[in-house]
């Protein structure tokens, strides 16, 4: 069911409920107050009659004409009165009771003996109901007369009937008007949603560079459109990234393949000495190693993206790890005539996966050695600060331009300086480093100046017990 219909139905139901309750309350209150008014006026008239009898000392009953001339309010057409003897017999009654007797009820008689006034209703077939009040007149403790005043409830009934008709006519009209209003308002409120849906469909069908026009208001619709635009922008960026990534990946793999193909074709052109074949095979092996590394690193990254890389969380003593890495990298450094030394090393334990942390450090130290100039020095330090361990790898190598510092963690990004400096490198190492650091709730900071060297700092939270 469309939202517009649902909203209107909800609104209509609420409105109908409200109108029904309103009608019932109005009718009840009205009926109640009209009857109270009748009772009050009956009682007032009865009081007048009782007073007139009291003034006479109860002994001689006035005749009806005399009573009426003395108390004209008794002669009101809309009321009749009767005076009963204690046996319940009518002694006097006003001339406007014509059609039939209205005898005293048992309840009224019994109440009269205990001195109580009785209000009651009586109904005769084919007539509007009557409302009666019976007031006892006591003289020296014994019942002398019972004065009864009555009136027809015809006008009350007629008023209530009119009210009922009015409610029955106006409520459906009000309901219909409010349903129409609800339908219109729901339509108006939902129109921008329709517009957004249509625009979103157009965007989804093709062009991710398109955006919705965001209404200037900061209401729900404005926020929806802005959020939607945000989402499209992110989708757009990640699609671009994927396209860029595929093109980079194929490019990186094509270069070694081209080299291998060229060298192999060249050597096969005519018979050669064993030495020549050996040289080409060795060169090919180097390229194959490079490609294997790229493929392995890509595999790791894509598994990491899919959340398939398991991370242990065990205490890892970084100082021991750092010393180990320094020994390992020392050998690598010797090849490049680069010295790898330890600076300040403070004990620090973090929670994490030792193998991955080793890979992270090795990658960074490997880069530092790789991008150092011969005779340079790489220093590794480990400092504890508050609840963090700060691992720094400092080199005096080629450095990274400020603009490139943000990009080096992107997959396949390599600076021109790095490409000129060494053929080795895949451009994936730092992306893996960044992922491992993030998986350990840490961060990597870079400080670098072209030609002067770089400092990569890995900041990791200390293990809770060690912090």
CB 460 within 8 A of CB 408: no
Among 256, 352, 376, 397, binds ligand ADP (CB under 6 A): 397
Residue 408 beta carbon to ligand ADP: minimum distance, rounded to whole angstroms: 4
Tokens of 321: 């790890």
Residue 355 beta carbon to ligand ADP: minimum distance, rounded to whole angstroms: 18
Stretch that binds ligand ADP, among 29-37, 94-102, 125-133, 422-430 (CB under 6 A): 422-430
Residue nearer to ligand ADP on the CB measure, 397 or 442: 397
* Bridge partners of residue 315, in order along the sequence: 351
According to DSSP, the β-strands at 79-84 and 90-93 are antiparallel
What does the alpha-carbon distance between residue 265 and residue 262 come to, in Å, rounded to a whole number?
A: 5
Burial of 80 (0-12, 13-18, 19+ CB in 10 A): buried
Residue nearer to ligand ADP on the CB measure, 147 or 294: 294
According to DSSP, the β-strands at 377-385 and 339-345 are parallel
What does the alpha-carbon distance between residue 167 and residue 180 come to, in Å, rounded to a whole number?
A: 20
Stretch that binds ligand ADP, among 136-144, 310-318, 426-434, 435-443 (CB under 6 A): 426-434
Residues 348-387 interacting with ligand ADP (rule: CB under 6 A): 367-368, 371
Residue nearer to ligand ADP on the CB measure, 232 or 294: 294
Question: Three-state DSSP class for 121?
Answer: strand
Stretch that binds ligand ADP, among 43-51, 195-203, 349-357, 398-406 (CB under 6 A): 398-406
Residue nearer to ligand ADP on the CB measure, 196 or 398: 398
CA 396 from chain centre, in angstroms, equals 53
Query: Does 395 interact with ligand ADP (rule: CB under 6 A)?
Result: yes
- Pick from 127, 124, 120: which is nearest to 150 by CA? 120
Query: Does 428 interact with ligand ADP (rule: CB under 6 A)?
Result: yes
Burial of 45 (0-12, 13-18, 19+ CB in 10 A): buried
**Sheet with 90-93: strands ordered across:** 90-93, 79-84, 142-152, 130-139, 118-122
Query: Does 408 interact with ligand ADP (rule: CB under 6 A)?
Result: yes
Stretch that binds ligand ADP, among 154-162, 180-188, 259-267, 419-427 (CB under 6 A): 419-427
Stretch that binds ligand ADP, among 82-90, 131-139, 272-280, 395-403 (CB under 6 A): 395-403
CB 83 within 8 A of CB 92: yes
Residue nearer to ligand ADP on the CB measure, 95 or 343: 343
What does the alpha-carbon distance between residue 424 and residue 401 come to, in Å, rounded to a whole number?
A: 20
Residue 225 beta carbon to ligand ADP: minimum distance, rounded to whole angstroms: 38
**Sheet with 443-449: strands ordered across:** 339-345, 377-385, 388-395, 453-461, 443-449
Query: Does 461 interact with ligand ADP (rule: CB under 6 A)?
Result: no
Among 174, 425, 450, 457, binds ligand ADP (CB under 6 A): 425
Residue 410 beta carbon to ligand ADP: minimum distance, rounded to whole angstroms: 8
Question: Three-state DSSP class for 188?
Answer: helix
Residue nearer to ligand ADP on the CB measure, 117 or 405: 405
Query: Does 252 interact with ligand ADP (rule: CB under 6 A)?
Result: no
Q: Which residues bind ligand ADP (CB under 6 A)?
A: 367-368, 371, 395, 397-400, 408, 413-415, 418, 425-431, 454
């Amino acid at each position: 069911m469309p939202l517009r219909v649902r909203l209107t139905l909800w609104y209509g139901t609420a409105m109908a409920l409200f109108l029904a309750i309103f009608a019932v309350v109005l009718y009840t209150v009205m009926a109640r107050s009209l009857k109270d008014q009748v009772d009050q006026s009956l009682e007032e008239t009865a009081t007048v009659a009782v007073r007139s009898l009291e003034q006479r000392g109860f002994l001689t009953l006035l005749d009806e004409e005399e009573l009426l001339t003395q108390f004209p309010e008794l002669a009101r057409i809309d009321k009749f009165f009767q005076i009963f003897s204690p046996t319940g017999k009518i002694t006097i009654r006003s001339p406007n009771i014509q059609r039939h007797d209205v005898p005293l009820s048992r309840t009224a008689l019994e109440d009269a003996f205990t001195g109580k006034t009785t209000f009651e209703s009586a109904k005769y077939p084919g007539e509007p109901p009557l409302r009666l009040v019976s007031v006892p007149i006591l003289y020296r403790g014994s019942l002398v007369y019972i004065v009864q005043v009555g009136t027809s409830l015809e006008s009350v009934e007629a008023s209530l009937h009119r009210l009922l008709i009015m409610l029955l006519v106006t409520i459906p009209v009000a309901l219909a008007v409010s349903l129409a209003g609800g339908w219109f308002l729901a339509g108006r409120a939902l129109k921008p949603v329709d517009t957004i849906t249509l625009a979103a469909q157009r965007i989804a069908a093709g062009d991710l560079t398109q955006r919705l026009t965001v209404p200037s208001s900061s209401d729900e619709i404005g926020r929806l459109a802005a959020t939607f635009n945000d989402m499209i922008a992110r989708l757009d960026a990640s699609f671009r990234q994927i396209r860029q990534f595929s093109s980079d990946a194929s490019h990186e793999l094509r270069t070694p393949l081209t080299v291998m193909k060229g060298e192999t074709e060249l050597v096969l052109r005519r018979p050669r000495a064993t030495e020549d074949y050996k040289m080409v095979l060795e060169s090919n092996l180097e390229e194959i190693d490079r490609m294997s590394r790229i493929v392995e690193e890509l595999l790791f990254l894509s598994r990491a993206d899919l959340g398939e890389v398991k991370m242990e969380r065990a205490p890892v003593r970084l100082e021991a790890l750092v010393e180990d890495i320094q020994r390992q990298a020392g050998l690598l450094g010797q090849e490049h005539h680069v010295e790898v030394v330890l600076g300040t090393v403070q004990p620090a334990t973090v929670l994490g996966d030792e193998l991955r942390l080793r890979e992270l450090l090795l990658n960074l130290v490997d880069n530092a050695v790789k991008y150092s100039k011969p005779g340079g020095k790489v220093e590794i330090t480990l400092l504890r600060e508050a609840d963090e361990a700060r691992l720094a790898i400092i080199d005096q190598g080629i450095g990274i331009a400020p603009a490139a510092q943000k990009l080096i963690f992107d997959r396949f990004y390599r600076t021109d300086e790095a490409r000129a400096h060494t053929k080795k490198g895949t451009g994936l190492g730092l992306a893996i480093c960044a992922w491992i650091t993030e998986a350990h709730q840490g961060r990597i900071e870079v400080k670098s100046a072209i030609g002067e060297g770089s400092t990569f700092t890995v900041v990791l939270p200390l293990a809770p017990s060690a912090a």
